[in-house]
Amino acid sequence: MDVEAGPVTGTKQPFEAVVAEHGATVLRVCRAVLGPHPDAEDAWSETFLAALRAYPELPAGANIQAWLVTIAHRKAIDITRARQRQAIPVDEVPEAAGRPGAPAGPWRPGGVPHPGAGAAADGDVWAAVKALPDKQRQVVAYHYLAALPYKDIAALVGGSTDAARRAAADGIRNLRAAFAGAAEKGADR
């Protein structure tokens, strides 16, 4: 076997290139689904560690970004469940009690927005993202941040392709309203 000779065919790119190409998108998805919280970075790390482990078996020509989003979806669910097993601190009970019937969503109550310029406006957008029903938030993140087709999203979150499309439209409309509010507030400062 020559070190130099021979074309590189039917092979995968080094995993380093996968991280470079998709790392930012997967982080956006994790943040959108889990909130501005260290859990989002944990989900990113778990996602890429699982992807690295399975990478040699991934069929050549597979849609790598869709594959990563699928893993990220499952890791976010794992993290959410682990979170729910933790005891809820006393000072967070009133908020939970204030949302009777609200499903146990992935958002940790009291998520802290990024500090810095525009934090107040960002906080409004985060609040709007947090207020989305879980499924809307997931569908918006997977479709608008990671370009995952609705058919694939439906397979991930359940329901029909049309339902996924409708959830995305509803979700993005809710965010648009919040964005308009945040922009107004920003202009006032």
Partner 1 sequence: MTSTVGEPGVSALLGITSPGEGDLRRLHDRLVTAAEADGILDIGYTTIDSPVGPLLLAATAQGLVRVAYQIEDHDRVLALLASRISPRIMRAPRRLDAAAREIGEYFAGRRTEFDLPVDFSLSRGFRQQVQRQLPRIGFGNTRSYGQVAAMVGHPKAVRAVGTACATNPLPIVVPCHRVVRADGSAGGYAGGAEAKRALLALERAA
2 binds partner 1 (CB under 8 A): yes
Out of 37, 39, 48, 156, the residue judged to bind partner 1 by CB under 8 A: 48
Residue pair 32/137 in contact by the 8 Å Cβ criterion: yes
Nearest to 32 by CA among 136, 121, 116, 120: 136
106 binds partner 1 (CB under 8 A): no
CA dihedral sign of residues 20, 25, 29, 35: positive
Out of 71, 126, 154, 167, the residue judged to bind partner 1 by CB under 8 A: 126
In terms of CB distance, is 53 or 90 closer to partner 1? 53
| Residue for token pair 């991280």 | 19
| Residue for token pair 């439209």 | 169
68 binds partner 1 (CB under 8 A): no
Q: How far apart (Å, rounded) are the C-alpha atoms in residues 161 and 83? A: 29
> What DSSP assignment string belongs to 120-176?
HHHHHHHHHHHHS-HHHHHHHIIIIIT---HHHHHHHH-S-HHHHHHHHHHHHHHHH
Binding segment toward partner 1, per CB under 8 A, in 81-89, 92-100, 101-109, 140-148? 140-148
Binding segment toward partner 1, per CB under 8 A, in 74-82, 94-102, 152-160, 170-178? 170-178
- SS3 state at 47: helix
In terms of CB distance, is 16 or 91 closer to partner 1? 16
67 binds partner 1 (CB under 8 A): no
- Residue 119 has phi, psi (to 5 degrees) of -60, -40
In terms of CB distance, is 105 or 132 closer to partner 1? 132
Where does this chain bind partner 1 (CB under 8 A)? Answer: 1-4, 8-16, 19, 23-24, 27-29, 31-32, 36, 41, 44-45, 48-49, 52-53, 55-56, 113-114, 122, 125-126, 128-129, 140-141, 143-145, 147, 149, 168, 171-176, 178-180, 182-183
